[in-house]
Structure 1
Amino acid sequence: METASLGQRPELTVAFDIGGTFTDVIFVAPDGRVFTRKLLSHLGTIGSRISELAAEIDGEARRSFRHATTTCSNALLENKVASTGMLTTKGFRDVLEMRSQRRPSIHDVGWERPAPLIPRRLVHELAERVLADGTVESPVDDDEIRGLLKGPLAEVEAIAVCLINSPANPEHERRVAALIERERPDLRFSVSGIEFPEVGEYERMSTTAVNASLMPVVDRYLTRLEGQIGASGSGLRIMQSQGGLMDSQVARTQPVQMIESGPAAGVLAAARIAANSDLGRVLAFDMGGTTAKASAILDARPMERPQVEVGAGASLGSRFFGGAGHVVRTPSVDLVEVGAGGGSIAWIDSAGALRVGPEGAGAEPGPACYGNGGTQPTVTDANVVLGYLSASAIADGSVPMNRELAERAIESVATPLGLSVTEAAHGIVQIANTTMIRALRAVSVEKGQDPRGFTMVAYGGAGPVHAVQLAEELGVRTVYIPPFPGIFSAVGLLLAEYRHDAVMSLAAPVDTLEPETFAERFVKLQKRLSEILEAEGVDPADAEFDRHVDLKYRDSEERLAVACPPPDDRLGTMLTETFSDAYLAKFHYVPDAPLDVVGLRMRATAAVGRGGSEILSSSTRARPTARGAGLVRARTSDRSKASSRSTF
């Protein structure tokens, strides 16, 4: 168990990220000592194991847990969500079926639209109707709802409530929610006009459907985990997709906010590295056991997306056109994920070509070199054969390695291809690198950014192993390997703050805005966020509230959020100038069209605690290492014993 030292803190803080293969854990003791562990992700016992390790460090201290998880993304990818129904306004039953009419490739005649998350037989219409201006045309019929709850929706675990024009007037949705709670207290439900009050019927309905279908899944997961680690309430905080923390009780009602929980933590830590080292442009590269992730960081701030697509249909190739997955209209770190990790399995396709991934060996049995019964060749096995990874043990000695088993696994693809074991291992690594290059290009070149001006921050269990080869391919001149690279996502959890976002729809030409009314709407958003913070035990007076405005040119679909200037007589002019600059920077032209406000958003952040740095000194050793498809003798260095003045 690796140790370092931080400043004093009154509790034992435990940060852990459960990935597909490994669980990364950092313990910060009350006296400031830091302990790190990398454990195999045996989901049935991992929480208990973390609790046992915490007790060994300090059995008396109060414990605070911070957690990143792939539970939600896995549930959506594997379509293992809860049975969910939906209540919507008459005439809108097929919105989830029709989607937004986007498709990932207009030339692919064989493409089939993915099935909606909620099947049509469980989507039911209500006769109520609210008009676009918020006035009620037809009231809610309580008996109609009772009949649906006792009839066709009697067996579902959750319900999504999404009525037309609810952002303008959510009272009908409130009434439906109250009736569900009274008639079926066992049901989980998500209400669109209160939780996701944005214009855009499909986006709002899809987001609500995803949230509702994940609520029972996350509740079961957190209940089991809290029982294993001995935490509840504010004792367990969850990383969100945008890089902030929320209390586990809030997570149970807003699971849609934690779909990219795991990857976001690492990007947050990379952004802190960028700030501390004065790095203007950074490519964050995270390669774990199952996948590899890439994200761009500009001026020490991770790039964010206001909307993502999730599920088995979403992919790297569909990120620009959309239509391949389920839309989630919540802020998220802008990252690209590909199926190339240390555990990705190498195989030979029907044409006799060598392939890598996306299927992986997982934690059980894992790569062959772990000696846990795995026999299929993986990227990790290839790295052991090539000498990029130790042939004795990794993860501070906690995971033994067996080179002979790795060679035997690689031989299973080398022999049919007529290659040596070393040549096959080299090919596996190169194929995996090619896949990961696509992700790095997607967040740089395809966004109009030249990667040659970036620094790559590489982390994850396998990230630093592949980083230099990837950097050479992209023309990146500097690769930064941070402290604790193998458990860097857990480091990000220590650095995270509370964060919550709130939105409000507002449709108006920018030149008609009244500063007083504008300010009043932000006061309502701040009140909503303050209530969430207070429920988490945070004093709103200790929080920072950032205001942004969503705008778009009339008859355009592209909306951008810009920082809100002071609400005075120059409000419209300042918004126009700021938006024009932002639009020009992204799209390289500015249309001659009127500018409209489409929504307001506010972000609340509050400190939870601080991380720290380790103490370093130096030692080196040597082992045979691959160069190309051959072996050379290369010096290796122990990162934990290197000083800031060490050169290589």
Structure 2
Amino acid sequence: MGDDSHPVRLGVDVGGTFTDVALVVDGDLTTAKVPTTTPQHAGVLDGVREACDAAGIDPADVGAFAHATTVSVNALLERDGARTALVTTAGFRDVLEIGRQTRPALYDLDAEKPVPLVPRRRRFEVDERATTEGIERPVDPESVRGLADEIAESDAESVAVSLLHAYAHPENEAVVTELLREELEVPVSASHDVLAEFREFERTATTAADAYLTPELDDYLGRIVSGAEDLGLPEPRVMRSNGGVADAETVRESAVTTVLSGPAAGVVGAAAVAGGATLGGEEPDGASSTSSAAAVTFDMGGTSSDVSLVRDGRAERAAETTIAGVPLRTPTVDVETVGAGGGSIAWTDAGGALRVGPESAGAEPGPACYGTGGTDPTVTDADVLLGYIGPDAALGGDLALDVDAAREALERLADAAGIEGDDGLGAPAAAARGVYRVANATMARAIRSVTVERGRDPRAFDLVAFGGAGPMHAAALADRLGMERVLVPGPAGVLSAYGLLAADETHDAARTVRLTLAESTGEGAATAGDLGDAFAELTDRVLADASEPEAARVELAADCRYAGQSFELTVDAGGGGSDGAADPGAPPAPAALAERFAAAHERAYGYRLDAAVEAVTLRVAATVEVDPPVVSRTGAPDAKRGAREVVFSDAGAVEATVYDRDALGPEAALGGPAVLAGTESTTVVPPGWGGRVRRDGTVALERTGGSEGAAGGDER
């Protein structure tokens, strides 16, 4: 049991296929992986009990409990959130339907726009008007009470209120919101609370999504809090899309901030591993607790793969994202997701070409090799036939592999795709190799999208691979992209759960202000006081949510643009003064902020203009830092478990050494071809690659010579 200086920490991440648990007791890491169940909260509590039993502790000994959930994102993907009503300014009922002029499928004659979360019959109008200058026409309280009766008759379970220009002057919206909360017994989300920013479509869509998600998330977290109390656990802190945790009560009031809860936790954990924060000191190969880590994070789970960037030791963030066709303006870890996971189904299209995903076999019935009723061939079935996953592996602790079922599924795929055996491989194994290649090509495109397509060279980054399937595919992806080093964390199969233990508490606030910073003459309309007052208001807001305001690090940023531009660049607005050397929580002078924007614009686009600069939206983040748990690892005298034939290249199968991943001790040296078989994940080391095990259990793989690559090949 941990003492006060080293509390027992617990992290639980719910995925589409498995629920992962990480438990650290005095530097010893215990993990558990159980199938995700319905309802989800029951599986969470089962996983907690299993991990605590394995560690020999009582749940009441846990001092810190963090949780990542898929409730919000699943509700958006499956369109099974609350029946939501929308209240808007008269004449703007159809803003969700109209949207923007963007066309994601410009030449698709059969393309259909995503169905709005709120159908037209549950969109209501209120007679009021605000402009950017103030309130022109106040709202009539009696008309709102009449509107409440109409909403009640619509059988709505939640209400979103988004009035014109409420980000600047929320008085009317506040009246409507308060009256509806008095008259109705359902949650009401107000746009000036959810997103105090301009651009009406995005503000309305985000507020509608918050209302759509709130009832289910509130019910789920209520059950988790109650179940945790019954077990003697502390109240959970919940991971949000921004990569930080917050108390359950705060999160229940901002459901839309949890749509990327799980992926964000994985990126945070990968950043801690890439920067060496889990080591507690220097490693011989140079890994240390440093802020200069640069890595591509690659999380391959059962349903999808998530790719993100870590630069200067921190996960990159974005101000908006789109989930299932719904634009959401909320701070998120910048994640690119593709429908290629271990459970992704392989199929042939109308032209006979081999395809993988995005449809997944999920946890039930699962891949064919699970022996739980699935018959479709999946990436996991391909990994089994290629020898990456051994026939004696137990996935998720209790699932014994059915190799024959995997072979039969891939044989049917081979027949459908016209694949014949070659290089000494039968048709099922040849089909498996094709599935592996296609899945890798999809994931390589995702990595290119966050590196090459943004002007960054992937060869300058490490690849941190995790998730149940990520380490099996990582070296082949690195070969494709010319990356030199792959890091496989010790708890790779449950790194999202482990990342929860390393996550800081983070709170964000933003507000559109539209302040002119500097004219072409150098004379600005905004004063230092204007910026200071606006930032102070946002700072007070985030510090009010922080558990330890006095310990919080406050960071300022501003979305700026040249007057007349349609979009903004986000620049650092902290440091005070004009040289950035003062208090990081103090805003700079307007002219200094304008110069920072001009420099950022020149870096991004190659030029700057002699024109007025506007600060459009101001942003503040408050972070209460948490020390990542330092994990120590011990190993067995001999981790070798034999050898087996594995398909690594077009030459067919070769013999690879098999190691017990969990028995590999610090400083153990590895050379390919090899397979590191673990409880939650398996690592594949191709020919031409070698590595070493760090003190925290991370396997650092590097090229040792010409690599033929895994079955994915080195096609670039």
TM-score by length of 1: 0.91
What amino acid does structure 2 have at the position aligned with 1:163? Answer: L
Partner of 1:14: 10
Q: 1:91 to 1:567 in 2, by over 3 A?
A: farther
Partners of 2:610 and 2:412 in 1: CA distance: 62
Structure 2 residue corresponding to 1:539, chosen from 548, 554, 562: 548
Partners of 1:606 and 1:543 in 2: CA distance: 5
Partners of 1:8 and 1:370 in 2: CA distance: 42
1:61-460 to 2 correspondence within 5 Å? 61-62=61-62, 64-134=64-134, 136-154=135-153, 155-184=155-184, 186-230=185-229, 235-276=235-276, 277=287, 280-311=293-324, 325-394=325-394, 397-416=397-416, 417-419=418-420, 420-460=427-467
Displacement after TM superposition at 1:340 (Å): 0.5
| C-alpha contact (below 8 Å) 2:65/2:233 kept by paired residues | no
Displacement after TM superposition at 1:203 (Å): 1.4
Displacement after TM superposition at 1:142 (Å): 1.5
What amino acid does structure 2 have at the position aligned with 1:376? Answer: D
Q: Does 1:476 align with 2:483?
A: yes
Partners of 1:110 and 1:366 in 2: CA distance: 31
Structure 2 residue corresponding to 1:617, chosen from 624, 635, 644: 635
Deviations 1:490-516 (A, max 9, x none): 111000011110112211211222112
Displacement after TM superposition at 1:73 (Å): 1.3
Deviations 1:69-107 (A, max 9, x none): 222111111111211111111122121111122221434
What amino acid does structure 1 have at the position aligned with 2:411? Answer: E
| C-alpha contact (below 8 Å) 2:368/2:375 kept by paired residues | yes
| C-alpha contact (below 8 Å) 1:515/1:568 kept by paired residues | no
| C-alpha contact (below 8 Å) 2:73/2:323 kept by paired residues | yes
Partners of 2:233 and 2:553 in 1: CA distance: 23
Partners of 1:146 and 1:307 in 2: CA distance: 34
Indicate the SS of the match to 1:91: coil
Partner of 1:23: 19
Displacement after TM superposition at 1:635 (Å): 1.2
Displacement after TM superposition at 1:6 (Å): 8.3
Partner of 1:515: 528
Displacement after TM superposition at 1:530 (Å): 2.1
Indicate the SS of the match to 1:493: helix
Partner of 2:46: 49
What amino acid does structure 2 have at the position aligned with 1:137? Answer: E
Partner of 2:32: 37
Displacement after TM superposition at 1:591 (Å): 3.9
Displacement after TM superposition at 1:414 (Å): 2.1
Partner of 2:711: none
| C-alpha contact (below 8 Å) 1:85/1:153 kept by paired residues | no
Q: 1:496 to 1:566 in 2, by over 3 A?
A: closer
Deviations 1:40-71 (A, max 9, x none): 11233303312432553322425542111222
Displacement after TM superposition at 1:487 (Å): 0.7
Deviations 1:433-453 (A, max 9, x none): 111111111111111111122
**Tell me, which stretches of 5 or more residues in structure 2 are unaligned?**
277-286, 421-426, 518-523, 579-587, 672-716
What amino acid does structure 2 have at the position aligned with 1:587? Answer: Y
Displacement after TM superposition at 1:558 (Å): 2.2
Count, aligned residues? 624
Q: 1:7 to 1:462 in 2, by over 3 A?
A: farther
Partner of 1:603: 621
Partners of 1:265 and 1:456 in 2: CA distance: 17
Indicate the SS of the match to 2:669: coil
14-23 vs 616-625, greater mean Cα deviation: 616-625
Partner of 2:492: 485
Indicate the SS of the match to 1:434: helix
Q: 1:281 to 1:585 in 2, by over 3 A?
A: farther
Partners of 1:448 and 1:418 in 2: CA distance: 38
What amino acid does structure 2 have at the position aligned with 1:637? Answer: Y
Indicate the SS of the match to 2:133: coil
What amino acid does structure 2 have at the position aligned with 1:627? Answer: F
Q: 1:6 to 1:351 in 2, by over 3 A?
A: farther
Q: 1:54 to 1:415 in 2, by over 3 A?
A: closer
Displacement after TM superposition at 1:568 (Å): 4.5
1:491-510 to 2 correspondence within 5 Å? 491-510=498-517
556-565 vs 490-499, greater mean Cα deviation: 556-565
Q: 1:418 to 1:261 in 2, by over 3 A?
A: same
Partners of 2:658 and 2:561 in 1: CA distance: 53
Q: 1:117 to 1:596 in 2, by over 3 A?
A: same
Displacement after TM superposition at 1:348 (Å): 2.7
| C-alpha contact (below 8 Å) 2:62/2:233 kept by paired residues | no
Partners of 1:611 and 1:557 in 2: CA distance: 44
Partners of 2:3 and 2:661 in 1: CA distance: 22
TM-score by length of 2: 0.83
| C-alpha contact (below 8 Å) 2:304/2:338 kept by paired residues | yes
Partners of 1:7 and 1:399 in 2: CA distance: 36
Displacement after TM superposition at 1:188 (Å): 0.8
| C-alpha contact (below 8 Å) 1:233/1:247 kept by paired residues | no
**Tell me, which stretches of 5 or more residues in structure 1 are unaligned?**
312-324
Q: 1:592 to 1:310 in 2, by over 3 A?
A: farther
Partner of 1:320: none
What amino acid does structure 2 have at the position aligned with 1:548? Answer: A
Indicate the SS of the match to 1:151: helix
Partners of 1:582 and 1:616 in 2: CA distance: 47
Partner of 1:626: 647
Indicate the SS of the match to 1:512: coil
CA RMSD of aligned residues (A): 2.2
Q: Does 1:642 align with 2:637?
A: no
Displacement after TM superposition at 1:552 (Å): 0.9
Partner of 1:551: 560
| C-alpha contact (below 8 Å) 1:87/1:159 kept by paired residues | yes
Identical-pair percentage: 38
10-19 vs 153-162, greater mean Cα deviation: 10-19
